[in-house]
Structure 1
Amino acid sequence: MSRRCELTGKAVLVGNLVSHSNRKTKTRFLPNLVNVTLISDKLGRSVRLRITAHALRSVEHRGGLDSFLAKASDDELSLRARRLKREIAEKSAAAA
């Protein structure tokens, strides 16, 4: 399982820890990933995703998972999230 957010695409960053004596030590900066269960209103079911805490705040701010996925670009979404976005779009098109 990769350390990548399924909604925003945020992943591991690499950099240096710099000491007071200016010694550099390689380090990895890991994203704050959490396992959450989000509810899709249009599909009427819950979805388990591994996303960052920042993405969880963004989902709540935009008004839920359905509206977040509608505004998100496909480039940063994972394969599971893209399938979910397509499924929600088909469901809303059939209802309209």
Structure 2
Amino acid sequence: EVDSGGRLRVAAFGPGDDTVTRVSALMDERVGGAYMPRLRSPIHFDSVRFLASNHIGLTKDPLFANDVLYTLLERPRDADATATNP
């Protein structure tokens, strides 16, 4: 929110890593509506990981680095995806 002096102030807090909220990271479209049990997002996720570290701390976490490298370089891919994007 913007106060009467034109300064920004925090209007609300939400779950996240103190930089990006969970809702924003997932682009969760359920916000403000009736409860739905499954994620609604225009992004197709084949997996989601929630990590117990702050935004910058992730870059220093060796477990996170291992997971990212495995996901990008070694994880088996769909036969369809591999055929079109080797």
TM-score under structure 2 length normalisation: 0.32
Structure 1 or 2: more strand by fraction: 1
Higher relative contact order (CA 8 A, sep 6+): 1
Q: Which has the larger radius of gyration?
A: 2
- What is the TM-score with the length of structure 1 in the denominator? 0.30
